[in-house]
Amino acid sequence: MNNYTVIISEQAQQDLRDLSNAISFEYKSPLTAIKYLRGIYDEMRKLRLIAGLLIIQKSPYFLQYGFNVRRLKYKKMTIIF
């Protein structure tokens, strides 16, 4: 089984900060923000082992991200890599 290196882009990190701030301040749920972000990071850590097993997305929507794009879902979020 392959091990992959997971690199989180600056834009993705900013998106996660924005999400955390929205949950914490707009919805006034800081504990929920912590749990939600922890869950997202846990899913991304799994990519080290399963990235190659996930299906390549072929729908036109995903082509804007390049070829051989894959996705991982967490609750209502989609992690595209």
1-49 pLDDT per residue, tens? 689 999 999 999 999 999 999 999 999 999 999 999 999 999 999 999 9
Q: Which residues have C-beta within 8 Å of that of residue 2, sequence separation ≥ 6?
A: 52
pLDDT value of residue 2: 85
The alpha-helical segments, DSSP class H, found in the chain are 10-21, 30-50, 60-63
- Digit-coded pLDDT (tens) for 39-57: 999 999 999 999 999 999 9
CA distance 1 to 44: 17
Give me the residue label for tokens 């993705």: 12
CA distance 78 to 49: 18
